[in-house]
Amino acid sequence: MGPGMIERNGVLLDQFAGTLSGLAGGVVNNRTGLDGRYDLTLHFAVSTLSADPTALVDDAPQFVTALQEQLGLKLVPEKTKVKIFVVDHIERPTPN
């Protein structure tokens, strides 16, 4: 994995979905129903950190477009329950 590229060999799609979570901006679940291991290569444009958030480093397709065109996978937003751990109070330990 590197800037603008993901290459995985022998990966389960459930594992690959976890890889996509950071790039997709949220949790990605595998809903393909496909089993087995796959060799995957994905090339996509890398956004720059300039004032223009749409500025791209190269002419490769954006991440979501590349995912669909190169791998035939589509990200579909859905509402789901997510476990959240909340810390509502904290105290310094007392000396023993």
- Per-residue pLDDT tens digits for 34-63: 999 999 999 998 865 445 555 555 678 888
Q: How crowded is residue 24: how many other Cβ atoms within 10 Å of its Cβ?
A: 15
Cα-based distances in Å from 57 to 4, 6, 34, 44, 61: 9, 16, 33, 10, 11
Q: What is the pLDDT at residue 2? A: 72
Q: What's the chain's average pLDDT?
A: 85
Domain parsing of the chain, residue ranges: 1-96
Q: How remote is the C-alpha of 83 from its chain's centroid?
A: 18
Least confidently predicted of 11-25, 47-61, 65-79 = 47-61
Q: Say what the pTM is.
A: 0.67
Secondary structure E strands in 1-96? 5-12, 37-43
Angle, CA of 74, 12 and 46, to the nearest 5°: 50
- Name the more confident of 57 and 8: 8
